[in-house]
Structure 1
Amino acid sequence: MRVAEVMTAPPLTTTTDAGVDDALALLGHHHVTSLPVVDATGRLQGLLHEVDVIRGRVPHQAPGAPSHSTPPSVVADVMAPVPARLGPDTDLATAADLLGSSSVTSLPVVDGRGHVVGVLSRSDVVGVLTAAHDRDDGLDPLVRRLLQLACRAPSVHNTQPWLWRVDGPVVELYADPARQLRVSDPDGRNLRISCGAALHHLQVAARGLGQACTVERLPSGPASTLLARVTLEPTPETPDGEAEARADLDAITARVTDRRRFTSWEVPAPRLEHLAAVGAREGCAVVPVVDEGRRHRLEELVEQARALLSQDPEVRAEQQAWVQRSAHDGVPVPATEGPATRFDDRPVVDPGGIDRADGVLVLATPTDEPLDHLRAGAALSRAWLTATTGLLSMVPLSHVVERPETRRALQDDVLGSALVPQLLVRVGWQESSRERLAPSPRRPLADVLVR
């Protein structure tokens, strides 16, 4: 298969002499994170990345913060080199390798004269390559694609604790009790948060593929393993809606859990507040922790939870059992690396990974019932996809809420006892020069289908 059969055409581009503010508006309006840059004749000159446009354009307001010079005014001054060029006749497998080895989520497609004729994104490649699998499952191709995208959701220890049952346009989501972490998650809270993220991924994928969702949560009650029933129906999309939905599809395929230390570049407060706001739309409070005193207390609790975890042989054995567990699930060894991660059982000597520049979000709910857990998972999914589109990285720190003593202290000392904490999330910028981590493996679709 060739790139021309998959690419998006005609492409959305900007020009070298365009104003940076105009290009920024174009990025935001179409919900994309990068644009090919062309000259007056349409020939490719570079790539414009959202992160390069916003860098230095949000003023620091803290006392003594460094001043910045006037930011560049035209695209030519901020565009980046193109890491790789694709032609319409490039083999799709080669294109997939190039996308996987670069930090960008899409690459321009250029004809023999150097003119940009299309754009190929990771989601384009994933959609084609995954369609080659699971063809004997009897599913409608659209539903198969939806489930493949839903199963890209984050889950605790990459346990993927979900099952799906399909009956025509109705898709049911079940918890998989066999994948519950019995020691660290005896009540199944993290399991349901993971399933809530998968449910939201399904909704996002459905919208991106032209389907409306009617969702009934806990249709058989909170004690049942049936967590949701989703009815699909085709729906027309507006051009603006299509652009946003496509950005979400790209984010699903680009999202990874990268626990490595973030850069020292602070997450601007408006960006953190935006993540909190979009996450809160899913029915879960998302609280940015910006107060110095509360941040300090939060870091103490992160370290206390990790110390308690490292001293518990049953918890340690359970989580180590999920490191490099198989080719289809568990946490790959490269994804365990980071500052004082829960997978490091050495004594605590390094601060808990919450540096001064890191953004911190707490997902919390009014009560602590199964429906709250599903909504927390949806909020995590929504905030994470939005962060990925904005080139931000997110790392859940679930161990703080797994230990009863640190969870109570988090509720009392950081949230003021008003809400029940469900998850702590670290937000920041990854080094752009680092090799990108590969997405964690996923179970074959046949393994998560209930007949």
Structure 2
Amino acid sequence: MNRRGLIIGAGSLLVLSGASTLGWRASTGLMEDYAGYAAALRKELPAGPTLRDLIGYATLAPNGHNTQPWRFTIEGNAIDILPDPSRATSAVDPDDHHLFVSLGCVAETLRIAAEATGRPGAIEVAGDGGVRFTFTEGTGWSDPLFAAIPKRQSTRAEFDGRPVPAADLEALARAASMPGVGLALVTERPRINQIRDLILVGNGVQMADPAFMVELKHWLRFNPKQAMETGDGLFSAASGNPVLPDLLAGPAFDHFFTVASENDKYARQIDSSAGLAVFIGEREDKAHWIAVGRACQRFALAATSFGLRTSFVNQPVEVAPLRPQLAVLVGASGKRPDLVMRFGYGPTLPFSPRRPVTAVLV
């Protein structure tokens, strides 16, 4: 579930482009238009929302590379969430682990939104990894996790280093409590540094893999126009990076996206974080990966409600040889760590795009 940024100097871009301001804007679109687009995706749900409204809200959930690898069907008082293999990321996620974690994230978001607006229900997971949310009619209620749904984002920026109060850490752990899922909250600087070093090693391994780089580049969206047209992918501005015209994006990416610049960026991001949250499923199967996604989203929403920002740094779980070392560091020897999320106090960046409900509802 990584969003990779670009470290590109604005002066270099101007030299590369030679483009007029009007030509630049025509090829990239305007951030003002994108801000309106993102705000419309996250507008408050109406009273008595339709099932389509709820599905749209659910798709604001985090997911790997923002591929949104899900499809929805409605049948009576049930909504089924199915994997979309056409949006799998085989290089970074060869066993579809992140795909099913993403299904867990979107399922829990749907459940929270439905319950808060008068449709309480339960989530069931089928053997093939399909998820069904079955609901009844009830009374809505105020839920800080529901209020946080449109505000949550994976913030690829440096945080301010402030520690999180112990009471808030305990509340985050309670919010993320999920049967079959363990959570290790790492706030001691020496252990954070050890995990940071694994992240940097993993980043180097991934960037040396041509298949990983091709896949990553496929899902990058370098400007507002491209992000709004596709409704998916890793939008550069959402990672705090420059907007580029399509013609310049590929060459600039190839030239400036280096292991050294990325490792420097990740080191600064982790060093500025208050802590790391590592999620560990009891077993390596689809049901537990979905449970990990549910726990992770509850943690992220609770963090958002406390004014915290989060983002994923999953290299030590994506590069298989690093997993045992990470497991030892978080006291889970013999198990597979599933997700690594950093958290802390930081800025709000532009939000990621999302596809319309018509694109995901079968």
| 1:389 matched to 2:292 | no
1:392, distance to aligned residue in structure 2 (A): 0.5
Tell me the number of residue pairs that the alignment of Structure 1 and Structure 2 aligns.
303
Max Rg structure: 1
**Per-residue Cα deviation, 1:59-102 (whole angstroms, up to 9, x for no partner):** xxxxxxxxxxxxxxxxxxxxxxxxxxxxxxxxxxxxx97x96xx
Matched residues in 1 for 2:125 and 2:212: separation? 31
CA contact (8 A) 1:298 1:414 kept: no
User: Deviations along 1:229-266, whole A, 9 cap, x unmatched?
Assistant: 121211135xxxx222xx33321111111110001222
Specify the alignment match of 2:258 in structure 1.
Answer: 345
Counterpart CA distance in 2 for 1:283 and 1:150 is 23
The alignment yields a C-alpha RMSD, in angstroms, of: 2.5
The 5 A counterparts of 1:23-422 are: 125-127=43-45, 142-218=50-126, 221=127, 224=128, 227-237=130-140, 242-244=141-143, 247-281=144-178, 283-324=180-221, 326-327=227-228, 328-337=231-240, 344-347=257-260, 348-350=263-265, 351=267, 353-355=269-271, 357-417=273-333, 419-422=335-338
- How far apart in 2 are the matches of 1:403 and 1:358? 24
Alignment partner, residue 349 of structure 2: 437
* Offset of residue 319 of structure 1: 1.0
Query: What SS does structure 2 have at the residue aligned with 1:368?
Result: coil
Take 2:49 and 2:189, find their aligned partners in 1: how far apart are those partners?
51
- What TM-score do you get using the length of structure 1 for normalisation? 0.63
What does residue 40 of structure 1 align with? Answer: none
Q: Deviation of residue 418 (structure 1)?
A: 5.1
1:157-195, CA deviations, whole angstroms, 9 ceiling, x for partnerless residues? 111000001112111110000000011101000000011
Is the alpha carbon distance of 1:419 and 1:346 closer, same or farther for their aligned partners in structure 2, counting shifts above 3 Å?
closer
**Aligned residues of 1:211 and 1:235 also touching (Cα < 8 A):** yes
- Cα deviation, 1:319-369, whole Å, max 9, x if unaligned, reads 12111064200011022348xxxx953423452621165211100112111
- 2:12 corresponds in structure 1 to none
> Scaled by the length of structure 2, what TM-score is found?
0.77
Structure 1 portions without partners, runs of 5+: 1-95, 101-121, 132-139
Tell me the distance in 2 between the aligned counterparts of 1:397 and 1:204. Answer: 25
Gaps spanning 5+ residues in structure 2: where? 1-34, 242-255
Whole-Å separation in 2 of the counterparts to 1:310 and 1:211:
45
Counterpart amino acid of 1:144?
Answer: R
Alpha-carbon distance in structure 1 between the residues aligned to 2:268 and 2:83: 31
Q: How much has 1:291 moved relative to structure 2? A: 3.9
Structure 1 residue aligned with 2:248: none
Identity over the aligned pairs, expressed in percent? Answer: 28
- Asked whether the equivalents of residues 354 and 426 of structure 1 are also in contact (C-alpha less than 8 Å), the reply is yes
What is the CA–CA distance in structure 1 between the aligned matches of 2:204 and 2:112, rounded to whole Å?
37
Q: Distance in 2 between matches of 1:357 and 1:177?
A: 34
Q: CA deviation at 1:416?
A: 4.1
**CA deviation string 1:102-153 (max 9, x = no partner):** xxxxxxxxxxxxxxxxxxxx96x4325xx9xxxxxxxx95211110111111
Query: Is the partner of 2:170 in helix, strand or coil?
Result: helix
Equivalent AA in structure 2 for residue 153 of structure 1: A
Work out which of the residue numbers 353, 358, 361 in structure 2 matches 1:446.
Answer: 358
The answer on whether the counterparts of 2:240 and 2:349 sit within 8 Å (CA) in structure 1 is: no
Query: Aligned partner of 2:327: which letter?
Result: Q
Aligned mates of 1:263, 1:295 — CA distance in 2 = 16
Letter in 2 for 1:345: T
CA contact under 8 A between 2:188 and 2:275: conserved in structure 1? no
Query: 1:397 touches 1:426 (CA, 8 Å); kept in 2?
Result: yes
